[in-house]
Amino acid sequence: MALVASVRVPARVLLRAGARLPGAALGRTERAAGGGDGARRFGSQRVLVEPDAGAGVAVMKFKNPPVNSLSLEFLTELVISLEKLENDKSFRGVILTSDRPGVFSAGLDLTEMCGRSPAHYAGYWKAVQELWLRLYQSNLVLVSAINGKGTVGEALRCAQTGWVLRGAVGTCSDHRGACPAGGCLVALTCDYRILADNPRYCIGLNETQLGIIAPFWLKDTLENTIGHRAAERALQLGLLFPPAEALQVGIVDQVVPEEQVQSTALSAIAQWMAIPDHARQLTKAMMRKATASRLVTQRDADVQNFVSFISKDSIQKSLQMYLERLKEEKG
Amino acid sequence: MALVASVRVPARVLLRAGARLPGAALGRTERAAGGGDGARRFGSQRVLVEPDAGAGVAVMKFKNPPVNSLSLEFLTELVISLEKLENDKSFRGVILTSDRPGVFSAGLDLTEMCGRSPAHYAGYWKAVQELWLRLYQSNLVLVSAINGKGTVGEALRCAQTGWVLRGAVGTCSDHRGACPAGGCLVALTCDYRILADNPRYCIGLNETQLGIIAPFWLKDTLENTIGHRAAERALQLGLLFPPAEALQVGIVDQVVPEEQVQSTALSAIAQWMAIPDHARQLTKAMMRKATASRLVTQRDADVQNFVSFISKDSIQKSLQMYLERLKEEKG
Amino acid sequence: MALVASVRVPARVLLRAGARLPGAALGRTERAAGGGDGARRFGSQRVLVEPDAGAGVAVMKFKNPPVNSLSLEFLTELVISLEKLENDKSFRGVILTSDRPGVFSAGLDLTEMCGRSPAHYAGYWKAVQELWLRLYQSNLVLVSAINGKGTVGEALRCAQTGWVLRGAVGTCSDHRGACPAGGCLVALTCDYRILADNPRYCIGLNETQLGIIAPFWLKDTLENTIGHRAAERALQLGLLFPPAEALQVGIVDQVVPEEQVQSTALSAIAQWMAIPDHARQLTKAMMRKATASRLVTQRDADVQNFVSFISKDSIQKSLQMYLERLKEEKG
């Protein structure tokens, strides 16, 4: 209770109705196609929400071009969309997926962390914390459908190599990504994770590859998911796992052909929604309470920690160089 | 020490001698057959104890028809039998198994949790806690030989389906079970778990399927056994694992053909008993102390929590309906 | 910070330069062979240090005949060598391996724990704690190359048997070992573990087999590495895992043919060293802080606990018998 109370923010931002995609985009299942007819539509500029109120499911699609970086605005819209769904009793489950070809979310937005004021950094980090807290403690069933298509031909080597890879979840070869680890953050808060079986899609927390570090609560989330030893290795090396490795280490629950990601997500969420809500929610809260509480009780200290770290000259310099290299590659 | 002291109850109940089964029932091993001759026999109406003092092993057989539900009386007899074995220096290990065909233990007895007084619920829950604390902290080597035969022809779908499955450990198709999760509770406290390879035997904590939730200490036990992620999924979905899945997720240690369950248990316990007792016991206590302490220090609060949850009209109604459905199926 | 400060000891002991082995012994890689030319050499009588300053890597070789038992002197030299490397900015990674054929380290030195004064036991245990704290919290990348050759023909049965096995990491059949678990202690503190694929090499914490118990912080380290359930079973049974089982349970990360252990270690450490130091070090500290702190805050109590346990008549008697049996076997 206290946990939830402390993180609530009012839905104070007016949202524009997102363009509604044809049901086919939902995975061509009858449920999705059929449920769309009478369903209310809501969402925002960067978050499309396709409700299927009959099934009690909404599909939340990330649309923050080019690579769904977690900008401050995008973070805010995500939290507000989630809050609207939480407060609408007709929804019990949400599928998180991408509207952008080739990338689920490239992660935190480096431009929010580079060349700005300490106050900006603080505000940004608070929004990142907020998204995690809301998702991780959500009463809704959350399933991530990690989709995407590679748009760059060359394939960089993944995971086991020393290469700097961009895109926390996306194509390993995606040069457009502004980058680390936020996509994996979103996926790790879900109840179930499905990854498209494309060798160019990688998932992981690659902070160290950029010279920065994951916050303790994200470390805790990863450790809860894949265990202490695997998390220690993955975090130290900043590993990004391609599908087969991701499944083996347990950072995702299922790997399916790309065209089946959405339909698999709908089947999976149906299993979770067959459980009585109150029992499932209490059980979820019991499993996650200790981890969430650690951040709730140290939230300000964590912000201070981030601000002082990211403000360092050496870190700013390294992020600057990284961003410039990205620009050159895009140019 | 404090832990143990706080949970001791006097062996104040007179026990009737259980009928002694032929040694052959122990798995037809020479050890069991040979050791039986001069062995003392003790036990109670619902708990048969077949001692093999020569080997230092006792086989404790559950006999609470029809499906070894953990009624208040059965819980009490289990604790007393265990206490007697703990206090008898001639025993160092116990094999827990079922005398009933087709079911190890169908779990908590819903009739103890439905239509009774708050005082009754409190007393019942205290007895459930007591069994767990005694078993989990036992100085004896405990091995569970999870046996059973299906007696109902139809096979309900297991684990991955949305079906409500009855019988925490037993046949997935057993309609006689009065129900959740207690059998798995017993098995999870053991040092080693062997499951008969019968696709109709499932094991798990299916509380959410009935609209109730596992207590935190049982959650901790499962998490210790199969890890945080697998426990989160299994508990939220109320999964019951058939043998192959049970082995893979690690909720049991070994799956063997049904007729080899008892002999495998005897081989397994021999390996544990080859270790010097004091070193093994201190190591076991070190591994389990934190988990046991969490309940010991919050025992009353946990009882209050259970009583107020189970007394809710909505919960009582749902259990009532469930029990009536079971009766109809039996009729 | 506080953690590190509290465990520092001055490098107050003069070290003799260790004999330098030909580069070929490093695994015949060009890097090792090439880097050796201009490299400074340092080390001590029992710890050979072969620096490859160009690569930023040092190979630390254990040379405490016959079986690299962790005597008080050897422990001290290990800590000092490590401290020297930590303070020398030209090194960022260390490979820990054995100079002795057939054994990585047979473990704690029983002669330090038997027939001595309480003050001696206290001093010895403090040195064991110190080695663990230094290794576990090292800022360097640590990789263990667990090598060795069997020198005794007969092969005792490993792991799953009831046999008392000597040598925590070494040949299962090595009768010269004076014994438990210290070699595994060293390996478990590393960032990556590579074991030679020789069925006679086993690794584990076999304390209970000798009637003694692992300290809580070593239990924590094992639990972090292989999970709670596997650790509970391994510690209670005192299991020593041969290579295939060691890999499966996760107590080592890689098993390779014996002649490839060193070259594999060099490849592995290169991957870790490709990560920016400060990000990797902060991440490592974040992962290990809670575990290390538990010992730091209870260090004296842990010493007292060890001294009173090891001083018991029954324990001394059992160690005495064990040592005498070892002597007979050697004679």
Per-residue pLDDT of A5-63, as tens digits, reads 332 333 332 232 333 333 323 322 333 333 343 345 567 899 999 998 788 999 999 99
Find chain C residues with C-beta within 8 A of A210's C-beta: 279
Mean pLDDT score across all residues of chain C = 80
Tokens 């450990």 correspond to B169
Averaged pLDDT score across all residues of chain B: 80
Residue A68 has φ and ψ, to the nearest 5°, of 55, 40
Which range (A99-108, A164-173, A309-318, C57-66) has the least confidence?
A: A164-173
Among C193-202, C231-240, C249-258, C270-279, where is mean pLDDT lowest? C193-202
Q: C231 vs chain A: nearest CA distance in angstroms?
A: 13
Q: Two tokens at B116? A: 């009774």
Contact B254, B264 (CB under 8 A): yes
* Residues of A with Cβ-Cβ distance to C272 under 8 angstroms: 236-237
Which residues from chain B sit within 8 angstroms of residue A278, using beta carbons?
A: 211
A224 touching B, CB under 8 A?
yes
The two three-digit tokens of residue A138, written as one number? 């959500």
Nearest CA in chain B to A192: B233
Cβ atoms B39, B8 nearer than 8 A: no
Closest CA to A70 of A50, A98, A93: A98
pLDDT recorded at residue B263? 95
Percent pLDDT > 90 in chain B is 63
Which of C87, C80, C85, C107 shows the shortest CA–CA distance to C95? Answer: C85
**Residue written as token pair 């025992």:** B299
Secondary structure of residue C125 in the 3-state scheme: helix
**Strand B192-196 vs strand B141-146: parallel, antiparallel, or unpaired?**
parallel
Q: Is A304 touching B (CB cutoff 8 A)? A: no
> Of A208-217, B247-256, C316-325, which gets the smallest average pLDDT?
C316-325
What is the spatial distance between Cα B112 and Cα B104, in angstroms, rounded to a whole number?
19
Contacts of B259 (CB under 8 A, 6+ apart): none
C287 to A160: CB separation less than 8 angstroms, yes or no:
no
Least confident of A286-295, B16-25, C281-290: B16-25
Which residue of chain B comes nearest to A291, CA vs CA? Answer: B228
SS3 C202: strand
ipTM of the complex: 0.82
Q: What is the total residue count of chain C? A: 331
Mean pLDDT of B3-20: 30
Who wins on pLDDT, A16 or A222? A222
Q: Which residues of B are catalytic?
A: 108, 182, 206-207
Q: How confident is the model at residue B161 (pLDDT cuts 50, 70, 90)?
A: very low
- Separation in Å, CA C317 to CA B133, B216, C166, C168, C204: 34, 43, 18, 21, 24
pLDDT for residue A216: 97
| Closest residue by Cα to residue A184 from A110, A257, A126, A104 | A104
Which pLDDT does position B172 carry in this prediction?
Answer: 44
Query: Percent of chain A having pLDDT more than 70?
Result: 76
Percent of chain B beyond pLDDT 70?
76
Q: How many secondary structure helices (H) and strands (E) does chain A include?
A: 12, 13
Range with the lowest mean pLDDT among A130-144, B166-180, B222-236? B166-180
Return the active site residues of C: 108, 182, 206-207
Specify the pLDDT at position B200: 83
CB contact under 8 A, C286 and A236: no
Q: Give the whole-angstrom CA distance, residue A66 versus residue C104.
A: 53
- A314 Cβ contact list (under 8 Å, min separation 6): none
| Of the candidate ranges A171-175, B138-142, B281-285, C283-287, the one whose mean pLDDT is the lowest | A171-175
Whether cis (ω within 30° of 0) applies to the bond prior to A22 is: no
Q: How sure is the predictor about C144, in pLDDT bands with cuts at 50, 70 and 90? A: very high
- Return the amino acid letter for B25: A
Tokens of A164: 């700097």
Portion 34-73 of C in contact with A at CB < 8 A: none
- Looking at residue A31, what is its pLDDT? 35
| DSSP output for A224-276 | HHH-HHHHHHHHHHT-EE-HHHHHHHTSSSEEE-GGGHHHHHHHHHHHHHTS-
Place of tokens 């027939």: C115
Looking at per-residue pLDDT, the higher value among A107 and B181 belongs to A107
Higher pLDDT, C44 or A170: C44
User: Is B66 strand, coil or helix?
Assistant: coil
What's the pLDDT at C31? 35
* Residue A259, pLDDT above cutoff 70: yes
Give the per-residue pLDDT at A110.
Answer: 87
A49-58, A261-270, C53-62, C162-171: the lowest-pLDDT one: C162-171
Strand partners, C316: none
- For the stretch C71-117, pLDDT in tens is 999 999 999 999 999 999 999 999 999 998 788 988 888 899 999 99
Better-predicted residue by pLDDT, C236 or A154: C236
A323 pLDDT tier (thresholds 50, 70, 90): confident
Question: Quick check: C162 pLDDT over 50?
Answer: no
Instruction: Return the C-alpha torsion angle B130, B133, B137, B138, nearest 10.
Output: 30
Q: What is the pLDDT of residues A75-110, one digit of tens each?
A: 999 999 999 999 999 999 999 999 987 889 888 888
Mean pLDDT of A313-324: 88
Burial pattern C102-128, b for ≥16 Cβ within 10 A else e, equals bbbbbbbbbebbbeeeeeebbebbbbb
Whether chain A has a CB inside 8 Å of the CB on C293: the answer is no
Instruction: Please tell me whether residue B159 adopts helix, strand or coil conformation.
Output: coil
Euclidean distance between CA atoms C62 and C186, whole angstroms: 11
Cα separations (Å) of A67 from A240, A321, B204? 17, 20, 42
Strand order in the sheet with B169-171: B103-105, B169-171, B201-204, B240-241
What value does the mean pLDDT take over residues B185-210?
92
B231/A287 touch (CB, cutoff 8 Å), yes or no: yes
* pLDDT at residue A161 greater than cutoff 90: no
Closest among A201, A226, A231, A202 to A214, alpha carbons compared? A231
Rounded CA Rg of chain C: 19
Residue of chain B with shortest Cα separation from C160:
B271
Write down the pLDDT at residue A219: 97
Average pLDDT of the segment spanning B276-297: 97
Instruction: Name the nearest CA neighbour of C66 among C166, C163, C134, C164.
Output: C166
Interface touch C278/A211, C-beta < 8 Å: yes
Q: Does B293 touch chain C (CB under 8 A)?
A: no
Specify the pLDDT at position A331.
60
DSSP assignment of A185-236, as one string? HHHHTSSEEEEE--TTEEEE--GGGGT----HHHHHHHHHHH-HHHHHHHHH
CB of B209 less than 8 A from some CB of A: yes
- pLDDT-based confidence at residue B22 (cuts at 50, 70, 90): very low
Tell me if residue C203 falls in helix, strand or coil: strand
B-chain residues within 8 Å CB-CB of C240? none
Distance CA B84, CA B58 (A): 11
Per-residue pLDDT tens over the stretch A105-151: 888 888 999 999 999 999 999 999 999 999 999 999 999 999 863 33
pLDDT the model gives residue A41: 58
pLDDT for A153: 23
Interchain contact A225–B (C-beta under 8 A): yes
What is the nearest CA distance from B10 to chain A, expressed in angstroms?
34
Q: Per-residue pLDDT averaged across C126-136, rounded?
A: 98
Categorize the per-residue pLDDT at C313 as very low, low, confident or very high, splitting at 50, 70 and 90.
very high
The string of DSSP codes covering C256-322 is E-GGGHHHHHHHHHHHHHTS-HHHHHHHHHHHHHHHHHHHHTTHHHHHHHHHHHHTSHHHHHHHHHH
- Given a cut of 80, is residue B187 above it in pLDDT? yes
Asked whether the beta carbons of residue A283 and residue B207 sit closer than 8 angstroms, the reply is yes
Residue B228, min C-alpha distance to chain A (Å): 5
Q: Does C171 score more than 80 pLDDT? A: no
Chains contacting A (3+ CB pairs below 8 angstroms): B, C
pLDDT at position A273: 97
Summarised one tens digit per residue, pLDDT across range B48-101 is 999 987 889 999 999 999 889 899 999 999 999 999 999 999 999 999 999 987
**C62/C43: higher pLDDT:** C62
Between residues B269 and A104, which one has the greater pLDDT?
B269
For residue B175, the model assigns a pLDDT of: 31
Cα angle for residues C2, C6, C7 (degrees, 5° grid):
125
Which pTM value belongs to this model? 0.84
Element of type H or E holding B145: strand B141-146
pLDDT over 70 percentage in chain C: 76
Residue B330 pLDDT: 63
